[in-house]
Amino acid sequence: MSRVLVIFLQALLAIAFLGGLFAQVAVIPATAANEVELFPPYEAVRVPFVVSAIVFVACLQVLAVALGGVLHRAGEGTVFEPGSVTWTNVAIGAIAAGALVLAWLFVFVTFADIPSPADGMEVLGLWMGSAAGTVAAAGAALVVVVGRQWLRRAVEQRAELDQVV
């Protein structure tokens, strides 16, 4: 893989990581405070939503780090070595943790009495979005699990080939 491309992609991942950090520290809490200011009954659900959002962004940050690790190995030409499987396991864990956060949010929205300033459509949208996000994240984790199996097979075949040669 081209060194310039690897550096560019690593820079994008670093920007995404830092953007997530900014969102966790400034954007999410400020947005929640603004929403509570506009509609005070939201105060009852502010903490669960803020915590869920911050933890979900943390899962995305761990995924970015794992992708950076695999990308680094691709740049070094060491993708087909056992260390790549470790980074893939980290990615699977991050995606699965994100799916769990979304599943928890789905359950919370299902059973909590969330106030609505209008007709409740925003609560229904959050409920449907968290359900769809849970399914999508679980599907993504399963796709990466399949990719990890292929990677393990390639690592084993590379090791056999190195022994032969």
Q: Alpha-carbon distance 62 to 54, whole Å?
A: 12
Q: Taking the model in full, what pTM does it have?
A: 0.91
Query: Of 13, 24, 94, 31, whose CA–CA distance to 52 is shortest?
Result: 24
Domain residue extents for the chain: 3-164
Q: How would you class 56 by CB atoms within 10 Å of its CB: exposed for 0-12, middle for 13-18, buried for 19 or more?
A: buried
The reported pLDDT for the residue numbered 162 is 83
The reported pLDDT for the residue numbered 164 is 84
The reported pLDDT for the residue numbered 119 is 83
Query: Of 55, 144, 65, 161, whose CA–CA distance to 104 is shortest?
Result: 55
Question: What Rg value do the Cα atoms of the chain yield, rounded?
Answer: 20
- Percent of the chain beyond pLDDT 90? 84
CB 106 within 8 A of CB 127: yes
pLDDT (tens digit, 0 to 9) for every residue of the chain, 165 residues total?
788 999 999 999 999 999 999 999 999 999 999 999 999 999 999 999 999 999 999 999 999 999 999 999 999 989 989 899 999 999 999 999 999 999 999 999 999 999 888 888 889 999 999 999 999 999 999 999 999 999 999 999 988 888 887
Read out DSSP for 62-121? HHHHHHHHHHHHHHHT-TTSHHHHHHHHHHHHHHHHHHHHHHHHHHHHHHS----SSSSH
